[in-house]
Structure 1
Amino acid sequence: MAMYDQFAFIYDSLMSDIPYDKYAEWVQKHAPTSTYKKLVDVGCGTGVLSVQFAKDGFDVTGLDLSESMLTMAQKRSIENDTSISLICQSMTEIDGIANMDVAVIAIDSLNYLETLEDVEQTFHHVYESLVDGGQLFFDVHSLYKMDVIYPDGPFTYEDEDVTYIWHTEQGDVAHSIYHDITFFVRDESGYYEKFEETHFQRTFPLETYTDLLEKVGFSTISVSTSVFEEQPEDEVERYFIHAVK
């Protein structure tokens, strides 16, 4: 799994088009803080959603495998005057987190798991961390995005501080992609520093996710494709899945 080493420090600018507010609204719609209090943000990254959830009234625990990401999350929490517990831990080995009302695995974090066994293990740990009636929210890339959109690279991005060239290559297993990203980041003196990151993502058919959720004990499983915006039925890029323990 990618550790987002240097990438953590420019992650926010590159994710600026993600409508995090709509994600938070989706969670609040089904799990209002008037009833649900304790939330674990699995794969919390730099804490954008963790802070939003804390502002909404949740008691938030953020979990991520990357210490760099957690450093940024802590800084963001302090700047926003929120209190968030942060834990450096893999989502496949969640330990010491219990009695949660809500679990969130946001912005395709689950797609960084390399095997179906890892996904099942994560679902199992999340299930065990929730109280009865607790709710899980997550999203994953569709097969269409992995097999059609991503291979159509390279992709580029440029603003006054960051430029990147993002090459994609299909992985050795079905519905997987290697992301090879070269960044040029301007420092305070105006010069650009170059660094590179390689990330791997994999997805599975939608039915595989719902079947695994049922296998570990979740019920009332629902799927949406319109949390961010309406997506054409034959060009869905992201599924949003909600399940109840």
Structure 2
Amino acid sequence: MTYNKMAAVYDTFMEQAPYEEWCNFTIHMINKYRPNQVNKIVDLGCGTGQIACQLAEADFQLTGIDLAPDMLSQAAARSSEESLSIQWIEQDLRSLSSLADFDLAVSYCDVINYLTSKAEVKKTFDNVYDLLTSDGLFIFDVHSMSYVENALKDQVFSEVFDDLAYIWFCEGSENKGEMFHDLTFFVEEDGKYDRFDERHHQYTFPYTVYKEILESAGFILEGIYGDFSLEVLDQDQIEEAQRLFFVCTKQAK
């Protein structure tokens, strides 16, 4: 993934994203599992800072981590405009360093789907374990296998805005859960349209794989939630959901 030129148009591209629902879900999980015990939150793969800023407005102390400097520039501009004190750091989730003592780590909007091997997932979960306090929470979401295979695979999406249009091709592979996203953007500037292309590679593993890797990294899986529901899913519901949320607690090794 690059997110270089895409950073400038990302918020338009994602204008229908349910950021408020992510924040409400987060606060509900804090109140359920760690009431009055969460202050420092790190947003892993924070993008342009939409979620981090909303959580900061709810009086949490936020740090945002992202691999793309252009996305962080957008995030910094947003927090400055909203007079929010948030630390923005450019790092790769697979090689996090010099971070510690967070009460909660969140990673939303299918960031974890960009980890395309089990080894990358394990390394990232190990890193998250290390940056949390002794009983810290880790909450992340992924596309479900059924959503990838039945709703995204080999589909084409497009939309036209006032100064932006895009075409989005979702290409599957022989590997179940693997997805290549080819995006073509046309951005209007001074009466002309500039085209740029980006290719993104994502992978969804069966939910049981995430569960096994979490446990091997030292986490207790408190529950799997789906599509912003506030009730833990059973196995049948997990198979039917589009977006799965994993709520985990760090345990002593």
1:151 aligns with 2:153: yes
In the other structure, the counterpart of 2:27 is 28
Of residues 95, 98, 105 in structure 1, which corresponds to 2:97?
95
Distance, in Å, in 1 between the alignment partners of 2:30 and 2:145 is 29
Give RMSD over aligned pairs: 1.9
Looking at structure 2, the residues matched to 104 and 82 of structure 1 have their Cα atoms a distance apart, in angstroms, of 19
- Equivalent residue, structure 1, for 2:11: 12
C-alpha distance in 2 between matches for 1:127 and 1:28:
20
Residue matched to 2:133? 131
Report the equivalent of 1:226.
227
Q: Distance in 2 between matches of 1:30 and 1:198?
A: 34
Q: What stretches of structure 2 of length at least 5 have no aligned partner? A: none
Correspondence 1:66-85 to 2 at 5 A? 66-85=68-87
Measured after TM superposition, the shift of residue 35 of structure 1 is 2.3
Q: 1:162 is matched with which residue?
A: 164
* Alignment check: 8 A CA contact 1:8 1:46 kept: yes
Shifted more, 234-243 versus 127-136: the winner is 234-243
- Deviating more after overlay: 33-42 vs 85-94: 33-42
Preserved contact between residue 144 and residue 204 of structure 2 (Cα < 8 Å) = yes
Instruction: Report which stretch shifted further, 211-220 or 29-38.
Output: 29-38
- The answer as to whether partners of 2:227 and 2:242 remain within 8 angstroms in 1 is no
Q: TM-score, normalised by structure 1?
A: 0.94
Distance 1:65 1:57 in 2: 25
Partner Cα separation in structure 2 for residue 225 and residue 11 of structure 1: 25
Gapped regions of structure 1 (runs ≥ 5): none
Q: Secondary structure at the match of 1:10?
A: helix
Q: 1:239 maps to what in 2?
A: 244
Q: How far is the alpha carbon of 1:229 from its aligned partner?
A: 9.5
**Partners in 1 of 2:168 and 2:187 — Cα distance?**
14
The total of aligned residue pairs comes to: 243
How high is the sequence identity, in percent, across the aligned residues? 35
Task: Report the residue type matching 2:248 in the other structure.
Answer: A
